[in-house]
Amino acid sequence: MNNNDVFKKLRVALQLRDEQIIEILALVDFRMEKPELNALFRAQDHPNFMECGDQVLRNFLNGLIIHLRGTKEEPKNAMDVINKNKEEVKARLFSDKPKSSGAPKTLAKKKPASNPKSREKKPAPKVQVVEKVQYKNGKK
């Protein structure tokens, strides 16, 4: 397992987006542009793949400590930060949904039928594929 794999797994486990990773790296005064960051997460056989060096991973981990725990002067609760990130991810997922073309759907509830039993489907009669056979097993 190389540094790229570790970096990818941390990104997925903590649900971090590119912008958040760049902010975390900025906490330790390590500047990295988005295209450089994307090159780290590419497949190894891709032409724009870039190997993640020890310095990049070390700075990310140090920045992650500050991001999650805070500094000695201003400590944070790590679970609060992680839960906040999860909420942001959920909010983005719901806001990024593509809108369907056509008539807008409303969330109004359908009126129930006057007789709820009338909506129930009647079971289809069973079709017997094989005829019944009587087994005698040597008895008369």
Higher pLDDT pick, 68 / 130 = 68
- Let me know: does 25 contact 59? Beta carbons within 8 Å: yes
- Does residue 53 have a pLDDT over 70? yes
pTM attached to this predicted model:
0.59
**What is the token pair recorded at 106?**
């409303």
Of 25, 30, 9, residue with least CA distance to 66? 25
Q: What is the pLDDT of residues 28-49, one digit of tens each?
A: 999 999 999 999 999 999 999 9
Residues linked to residue 70 through DSSP beta bridges, in sequence order: 75
pLDDT computed for residue 110 by the predictor: 57
Rounded CA-CA distance 69/80 in Å is: 10
Radius of gyration of the chain (CA): 29
Q: For residue 64, how many C-alpha atoms fall within 13 Å in the half-sphere facing its CB?
A: 15
* CA 61 to centroid of chain Cα atoms: 22
